[in-house]
Amino acid sequence: MTLKQYNPITSSARQLVNIDRSELWSGGPHRSLVYGLSRTSGRNNLGRITSRHRGGRHKRLYRVVDFLRDKDDSACTVERVEYDPNRTAFIALVRYDDGEYRYILAPSKIVVGQRLLSGDRVDVVPGNCMKLKNIPIGSVVHNVELKVGRGGQLAKSAGASSQIMGRDGPYVLLRSPSGVVRIVVGECRATIGVVSNSDNQNRNDAKAGRCRWRGIRPQTRGISMNPVDHPHGGRTNGGRHPCTPWGICTKGYKTRRNKRTDRWIVSRGK
């Protein structure tokens, strides 16, 4: 996909840079693979705000995406590539030879009519799925499992991918998009290729209304608040290290606290 710019006939079109979706399916989703979503507006089951600056978005239907890709040795055909409002990547509707339909994450440069396959020994082409232990070293993959049978958890957003760096017995060394090198069990599955819509990072909404359509509400800077409302409040430029309203450092302060998975990380990158 390419980027689309607009003539500045209005103020909101002057800086607008959007994704050209002219090649995508223009109709509705496959009815048997969708269900409605209820909006929470960042509230929990007690009605209290747990995620700030959420609410007021457009209605959505959730597309059930197959992250497992567990239908081995049964070829499928790409029927169409669709826009998904629930994720940055595009999705592809595939039809298996037995007549079953499923949604999958669309790899980059996938075309309608392409044949895809999952299994232990399949061709290393974008869209095919196999176990990490069978994928050649240096290959680029996405939708990577971290636990056998759980489904893809790594490299699922637009333009994301991970690279297989090597093998160590039953394990595979995998470099994730953040630069972190981790150990993954070789029995886990992954899909060959890069996730579609890599130009998503170059979008420019050009107006606040487009954020409101996606359910993102306005934010007030801490420095413009009073001292009772925020640690940055009531001060001029400069002062303490940037922090949250609750006094926790941010902008460079590492918050990862997961000792269960620390043993799987070989290198944390930059």
CA angle 69, 262, 135 (to 5 degrees): 35
How far is residue 256's CA from residue 61's CA, in Å, rounded to a whole number?
33
Cα 93 from chain centre: 18
pTM metric for this prediction: 0.90
How far is residue 128's CA from residue 78's CA, in Å, rounded to a whole number?
12
Domain regions of the chain by residue span: 3-201+257-267
What percent helix, strand, coil does the chain show, rounded to 5? 10, 30, 60
Could you say which of 2.40.50.140, 3.20.20.60, 3.30.70.3270, 3.40.50.970 is the CATH number of the domain covering 3-201+257-267?
Answer: 2.40.50.140
How far is residue 29's CA from residue 23's CA, in Å, rounded to a whole number?
15
**pLDDT digit of tens for each residue in the chain (270 aa)?**
689 999 999 999 999 999 999 999 999 999 999 999 999 999 999 999 999 999 999 999 999 999 999 999 899 999 999 999 999 999 999 999 999 999 999 999 899 999 999 998 899 999 999 999 999 999 999 999 999 999 999 999 999 999 999 998 999 999 988 889 999 999 999 999 999 999 999 999 999 999 999 999 999 999 899 989 998 888 766 677 889 999 899 988 888 889 998 999 998 876
Query: Smallest Cα–Cα separation from 59: which of 218, 186, 214, 236?
Result: 214
